Structure 1
Amino acid sequence: MQIHELIATVFVDDKPRAWEWYSRLLGRPWDAEPDQAGCRAWEIRPGSWLQVVGRGEDDASTSVALAVPSATAARHELRSRGIDAAEPWTIDGFATFVEVRDPEGNTITLVEHLAGGTRDLHA
């Protein structure tokens, strides 16, 4: 099986508030409106999308992880945009993490893979 694209979906109750928050999180407006009434999508990199949609009756909360070069630098950048980001924490030899929560309580985890870890993104 080959996977060519990744789409992460975040379910929210207050779409306009969430779309504004994710625009601040990502530092830019959305790239697409696949369903004009209920979805906004950001292309994170070619073939990888984050979409924010209205929550349906059976939809649960969401957890999304975003790989970043520096979790600490990303935290400072988010705080400058008015987004509260937790203190970084590290699993030695693997990764450093920073968690943020959107207005609906969904967790967005910024992940900095450490050199020599099982997934070294700096190589």
Structure 2
Amino acid sequence: MKFTDDVKRNFASSWEKSVMESVRLLTYITTRTPHKIIDTISLNNARQMVILFSGPFAEINRNIQENIDQFKEIQNTVDKIIIQFTQFLKQNAIAVFNDAYVEYLDYIIHLEREKANTSKNYNKKVLDGLEEVKRNMMKR
């Protein structure tokens, strides 16, 4: 296969450009400081720890959720017992029975609202839970 002089010059120019860029790349690589191997090892160790602890953390979260569910069941049981006891006292008390539980809940809710107004990190779930208990008491 025969090439014209223009094509040969183009090939030669391309070859020279490739050589210059290869030399420039190798020069750049040799002037770089090597990275610290300890950084890579530390990163790998951190990754291994994340993988290692992901199982136990998931188990801890599961246990917390189970405890929350159990406490909610206990709270429902206590609420039912309070209602039954209040009804029993209203029906069977010799003296006049004054149900102070709702009043006490109002007092606690008032205190929690004050905490909510004064604290930036207040957990609103506490106040919401107390208000829900009061609503449930009023329904029954």
Q: TM-score range by the shorter chain?
A: under 0.3
- Higher-RCO chain (CA-CA 8 Å, sequence separation at least 6): 1
Higher helix share: 2
Higher strand share: 1
TM-score (normalised: structure 2): 0.18
